[in-house]
Structure 1
Amino acid sequence: MSILQTTYPLFLNNRPAQPNTDLAVTDKFTGEVAFRVAQADAAMIDEAIAGAVKAAQPMARMASFERQAVLQHCVDRFRARADELAYALCVEAGKPIRDSEGEVSRLIDTFRIAAEEAVRMTGEVQPLDISARARGYQGMWKRVPIGPCSFISPFNFPLNLAAHKIAPALAVGCPFVMKPASRTPLGALIIGDVLAETNLPPGAFSILPASRDGADLFTTDDRLKLLSFTGSPDVGWDLKARAGKKKVTLELGGNAAVVIDHDADLEDAVTRVIFGAFYQSGQSCIGVQRILIHADIYDRVRAMLVEHTSALVCGDPKERDTFVGPMISEGEATRLEQWIAEAVATGARLLCGGERRGAMLTPTLLEDVDPAAQLNVDEAFGPVAFLQRFSSIDEAFDIVNDSRFGLQAGIFTRDLFKALDAWDRLDVGGVVINDVPSYRVDNMPYGGVKDSGLGREGVRFAMEDMTEIRNLVIRRN
């Protein structure tokens, strides 16, 4: 499988443009330049925002069936280009090819859901005669597009996380400008290539790879009515502080915990935890980082986890038996290697892994990590997890909550009451019972609390963020 195209344009006001080939995109396994991409400057970003402003009313006037047709066209074309999308993702992100194919299927799902939701943007008839003074008054409200949106997407799911911004915007009729991650821009640009085949109003979309230094307008320009950012907490909260009056939604980081209680199906739990911790080299904000195991089963589960982790196949992501590919860069792998060394130096025990070669870091398990170690406090965002004992479910819940993050948590238990208690007591955006916190379906409300962000993704919920309520009051007598 290969891609003949090696140079990609940006998309400015619906049209491809190739002003340069300044952005080099590397094969994350070999480190060699695989593609060259056009990079936007501040003038192009300004032009794109102006185009989105002009497109706001034409987009808002599109009929529901017209928006649905655009989204369905995308579904059909993504299916036709699935091999190309998967290969590009495998190369630019270093994501194993089977996982890349899985992300393409999620891209298709997300646009398919949006096509269905595009004709379901409903309002409500509301009685206003709650007292004598309002006799004869009738109310109703509807949702209207918020206007031009700014999207900044991350490197780790460059197809599906871009889709979670683009598809809801199209479903409600919001024009947008997007900055894809510079390390992995191809997926968003292929989406742009498909959108350029449609009859969207001029200025409806721009997809503009840009340097971080040159991309301030995505955040600060007051013509934009919403900023949706997915990425690191430090960057996200800084962008919110500089965003001005516009609405901001943030999908940020986490150090997700999974709890394995003494009554769990251990073979099933271990299989799922291994997936959650090391899928796509752990580079997921809901990747399993903290593994809490009941004391009665701790030794047995530890042995099972070490055995399964040590057997994972690491290597070239283009090979179908590879489970763990490279991290996004050698710098990120080096950072995590240093975190592991710090944990060991402060008393942690290395159970397996921890070996780095370039951007490859072997899947790593530790135990007895100091509560103050970076590996415990911050987001690892790589193929590293650590084990911790607990004696009661109350203790486990306290450990889960003892974090500045709160994205998702997983609980393996057969006790319905413990499952419901977890839902009530865990300070996270989502609780997953009998699976890992890494589990996500693209129509569910997804997002976090505390330092993990603001707002919710999942197509219907993102559509709510991209609309405003407009009220109507009728005096009937």
Structure 2
Amino acid sequence: MKKDLWIGGEYRNASSYMKLKNPFNLEVLAEIGMATSEDVLSAIHAAQQAQVGMADLPSFERAEILEKVAQFLKDDREECARLIAMEAAKPLKAARAEVDRTIMTYTFASHEARRIHGETVPMDGAPGGQGRLAFTVREPLGVIAAITPFNFPMNLVAHKVGPAIAAGNSVVLKPASQTPLSAYKIAEYFHRAGLPAGALNVVTGSGSKIGDVLVKDDRIKMITFTGSPEVGRYIRENSGLKRVTLELGSNSALIVDDGVLIHQVIPRIVTGAFAYQGQVCISIQRIFVHENIFDSFVDQFVSETQKLKTGNPLEEETDISAMITRGDVQRTQEWVEEAVNNGAQLKLGGGSEEGIFKPTILVNVPSSEKVSCEEVFAPVVHINTFRDFSEAIDQVNDSKYGLQAGIFTNDIHKALQAARKLQVGGVMINEIPTFRVDQMPYGGVKMSGMGREGIKYAVEEMTELKLISFKTE
């Protein structure tokens, strides 16, 4: 199968192609077009040409297009899930859950398309403002560049494309090199749904080559990016006056307080730590457990983790499959070995087989170790102890990241203390930090990024506020 570039509402040949391989068995899935700088400029031009029509498209028509895309996903749920499982090595049951979330994301986007609004402004609240009627409206920014990662190849595309279309913008989408098939599938759905040609363009290939064109072209009015802090910083520093939303990952932490019924929460915590091989921005990486329950927690956590089944992502019983690349397996192995050599205790896992890194549990890990202070993005979690609750909060905050954090506690005062003092974009009380529903505001602080996703909040990021004032007297 050969996939060309999607520009101006049609597939266009690329000058070269790359082989896309299944991360699990390295089987060739397709040949993917590699966009040149000229191809990216052509996509930007197509988006700019389509922008006038998009801005004039009534909100109910934009909503209906988004509703149709959601319906296409419902109709093809199993096909889409298998596509994700093949190109991303996401276990099939997790891939189905992603498709279901993608349906909800486009549904929320269709709702928001119908209720983009401004407000009246009481001009006579200031001297000289009397005799005036003023109100605000929200208008689309224009051409938006969306750059997405491999780990949620449909739903994270939806979180960028959905609100952009809802707000009347046009889009140039650069999906992750490992997961382009999901993006092309979505482009085909939008075309079938009646989206104007050029309003959504998909260009695949070198991230740096495509990204540089998008960052530097003045026709691009906003860049929405999910990926590494290094690339995010580069985009922020080189994008000029473009609006920028960045979601840059984390090393999410969970606090488990004394008195919590750990047998009730451990299955949930194991899911938060190891779902999709830990390749989730808000995957649990650091767990801080009160010293009174530490030993029991570790024993039960190890026992529950041992129930996870590794294997082919297309098999129904698989919980853990291959990491996205063999290079990531090697990196993870090195980080775990470094931690053990520097005093951490290995309780489970620590090795790999055929691209699958086995679920790994470490305890008493120094905070300076990469598996603690960097984003491991792998099925690796460490468990450390604390005595005083304030100490646990300090340990969570001792990070350059701040996306989401979780806490399990029976003490409302500690819950409120955590809500106030944790330096993150979202605090999940009596829940894991990996929790997300697609209408909530989502984003981080510090090196976890800037701006917020979640459809309503993304629409605000993707529109310009205009004030209109009438002198009536």
TM-score normalised according to structure 1 size: 0.97
Give SS of 1:405's match: coil
The CA deviation at 1:20 is 5.7
* Match for residue 377 of structure 2 among 373, 376, 381: 381
| AA in 2 matched with 1:112 | T
392, 395, 412: which one aligns with 2:391: 395
Question: Which residue in 2 is equivalent to 1:433?
Answer: 429
Partner residue of 1:263 out of 259, 267, 271: 259
Deviates more, 1:351-360 or 1:382-391: 351-360
What displacement does 1:198 show?
Answer: 3.1
Matched, 1:176 2:168: no
2:32 is aligned with 1:37: yes
Partner of 2:12: 17
**d(CA) in 2 for partners of 1:134, 1:115:** 37
Tell me which amino acid in the other structure corresponds to 2:48.
Answer: V
CA distance, structure 1, for counterparts of residue 410 and residue 12 of structure 2: 56
Once the two structures are overlaid, the 10-residue window that deviates more, 35-44 or 380-389, is 35-44
Q: Which AA in structure 2 matches 1:132?
A: P
Shift in Å, 1:27: 1.1
Q: Please say if 1:148 is aligned against 2:151.
A: no
SS at match of 1:134: coil
Amino acid at match of 1:370: P
Structure 1 counterpart of 2:236: 240
How far does the alpha carbon of each residue in 1:447-473 deviate from its partner, in whole angstroms, 9 at most, with x for none? 000000000100000000000100011
Give the Å deviation of 1:37: 2.0
Tell me the equivalent position of 2:355: 359
Asked if the contact 1:58/1:201 (under 8 Å) is kept, the reply is: yes
Q: How far has the Cα of 1:185 moved from its partner?
A: 0.8
Q: Classify the secondary structure of the residue corresponding to 2:399.
A: coil
Report the RMSD for the aligned CA atoms in angstroms.
1.1
**Structure 2 unaligned regions, length at least 5:** none
Q: Structure 2: how far apart are the matches of 1:265 and 1:236?
A: 40
Does the alignment pair 1:105 with 2:104? no
> What SS does the corresponding residue of 1:471 show, helix, strand or coil?
strand
Q: 3-state SS of the aligned residue for 2:207? A: coil
Contact persistence 2:191–2:197 (CA under 8 A): no
- Tell me which residue corresponds to 2:57: 62
Match of 1:281 among 277, 282, 294: 277
Q: Distance in 1 between matches of 2:189 and 2:13?
A: 17
Instruction: Give the secondary structure class of the aligned counterpart of 2:466.
Output: strand
CA–CA distance in structure 2, aligned partners of residues 268 and 233 of structure 1: 35
Give the alignment of 1:179-328 within 5 angstroms. Answer: 179-215=174-210, 216-328=212-324
Q: Which runs of 5+ in 1 are unaligned?
A: 1-5
Displacement over 4 Å in runs of 4+: none
Residue identity in the other structure for 2:394: D
- Matched ranges for 1:405-420 at <5 A: 405-420=401-416
- CA shift, 1:175, in A, is 0.3
Do 2:147 and 2:173's aligned partners in 1 also have CA atoms closer than 8 Å?
A: yes
Offset from partner CA, 1:264-295 (integer Å, 9 cap, x none): 22122211110011000000110000011011
Q: Percent identity?
A: 39
Map of 1:334-349 to 2, 5 A cutoff? 334-349=330-345
Question: What is the TM-score when the length of structure 2 is the normalising length?
Answer: 0.98
Task: Give yes or no for the alignment of 1:333 onto 2:329.
Answer: yes
The AA in structure 2 aligned to 1:362 is: K
Residue identity in the other structure for 2:64: A
Q: Is the 8 A contact 1:14 1:195 kept in 2?
A: no
Q: Structure 1 CA distance, aligned partners of 2:323 and 2:13?
A: 29
Give distance in 1, aligned partners of 2:209 and 2:444: 29
